[in-house]
């Protein structure tokens, strides 16, 4: 599998990244290790995790995913793997993480990274990401910015200064953002350039057939500032497989964890999924093939994060990633999008 540069960093990543957030909740350790082995066998060099995983986040599984990945990583050639993890920010109430003190202060970021390194059994992380902004922003199904929700937070320059110290210490190689917005990306880039601090290499945001909001502002910003997109949730929590149209009670995290995946609990989701499933079948494709191949076809996507709750599901998803889409199919997708634009922002 060929690799692509990650922003202006020295990292090169495969266009498919293995997401691990099910490890330790939906996926037992043996199966998780088998998934990691399969990813390596298929040429994938990029693994993404986070300190708060497994999901949905809860005290009982905090750190479980990194621990599972770490036990696997300890028996592998570390230099052959691009490992990404994330620091949890203050947008969610999670008192079991560092006592709930989650602002991106110097102490919190250093503590978060050191704990991740211990669980991952490694001396460094290739890509260290801020899981969501420390400031007030609409996220995870919210879609309107509300200035009344403003809160105190560490300034962006101060966050970068801490990350610069961690780069200098050899604990991280590159810096990334997640669930960020255009203003935030520009502020991180501006402070980096003005004060000689690390430039963000990537942004990890949701991007799929139901949520193309990245194209409305972020695509231009990230292209001009050389920030790569790591697209997560390409199957929209399983909705774009079409399984919930066939059976509303189908097995999956939407039904297993009620209230999880708020952004897909909107009235336009089901009609849009039905339209994309119909389009896929009309062109001899499965809905999964259509959804994954679409994300991989986008010029601004450096890597697509593909996760699974089982080895068989991962194998199916990786096979689907190898499906090329014709110009006619891509044009039909855009026409469908104009009728069903971003029902799950």
Task: State the residue for tokens 């939407």.
Answer: 254
Interaxial angle between packed helices 218-225 and 182-195, expressed in degrees from 0 to 180 and rounded to the nearest 10: 20
DSSP character at residue 14: -
CA dihedral over 99, 89, 62, 164, signed as positive or negative: negative
Q: Are strands 82-87 and 125-130 parallel, antiparallel or unpaired?
A: parallel
- Annotated catalytic, 124? no
CA dihedral over 312, 203, 242, 338, signed as positive or negative: negative
Q: Rounded to whole angstroms, how far apart are CA atoms 174 and 136?
A: 25
DSSP 55-115: SS--GGGTTHHHHHHHHHHTTS-GGG-EEEEEE--TTS--TTSGGG--S--HHHHHHHHHH
Q: How far apart are the first and last CA of the chain?
A: 31
Marked catalytic residue, from 53, 207, 214, 264:
53
What residues are labeled active site? 53
């Amino acid at each position: 599998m060929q690799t692509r540069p990650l922003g202006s960093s020295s990292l090169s990543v495969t266009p498919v990244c293995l997401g691990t957030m099910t490890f330790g909740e939906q996926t037992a350790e043996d199966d998780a290790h088998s998934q990691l082995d399969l990813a390596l066998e298929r040429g994938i060099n990029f693994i993404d995790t986070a300190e708060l995983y497994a999901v949905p986040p809860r005290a009982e599984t905090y750190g479980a995913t990194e621990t599972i990945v770490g036990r696997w990583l300890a028996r592998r050639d570390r230099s052959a793997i691009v490992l990404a993890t994330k620091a949890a920010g203050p947008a969610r109430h999670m008192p079991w993480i560092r006592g709930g003190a989650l602002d991106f202060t110097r102490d919190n970021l250093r503590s978060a990274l050191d704990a991740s390194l211990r669980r991952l059994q490694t001396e460094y992380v290739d890509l260290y990401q801020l899981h969501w902004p420390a400031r007030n922003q609409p996220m995870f199904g919210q879609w309107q910015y509300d200035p009344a929700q403003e809160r105190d937070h560490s300034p962006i320059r101060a966050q970068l200064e801490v990350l610069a110290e961690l780069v200098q210490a050899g604990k991280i190689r590159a810096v990334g953002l997640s669930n960020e917005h255009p203003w935030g990306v520009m502020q991180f880039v501006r402070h980096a350039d003005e004060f000689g601090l690390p430039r963000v290499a990537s942004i990890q945001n949701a991007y799929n057939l139901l949520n193309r909001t990245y194209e409305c502002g972020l695509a231009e910003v990230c292209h001009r500032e050389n920030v790569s997109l790591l697209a997560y949730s390409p199957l929209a929590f399983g909705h774009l497989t079409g399984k919930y149209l066939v059976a509303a009670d189908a097995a999956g995290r939407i039904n297993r964890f009620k209230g999880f995946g708020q952004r897909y609990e909107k009235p336009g989701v089901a009609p849009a999924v039905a339209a994309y499933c119909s389009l896929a079948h009309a062109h001899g494709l499965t809905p999964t093939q259509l959804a994954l191949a679409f994300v991989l076809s986008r010029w601004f996507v450096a890597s697509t994060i593909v996760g699974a709750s089982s080895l068989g599901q991962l194998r199916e998803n990786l096979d689907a990633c190898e499906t090329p889409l014709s110009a006619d199919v891509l044009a039909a997708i855009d026409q469908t999008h104009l009728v069903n634009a971003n029902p799950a922002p």
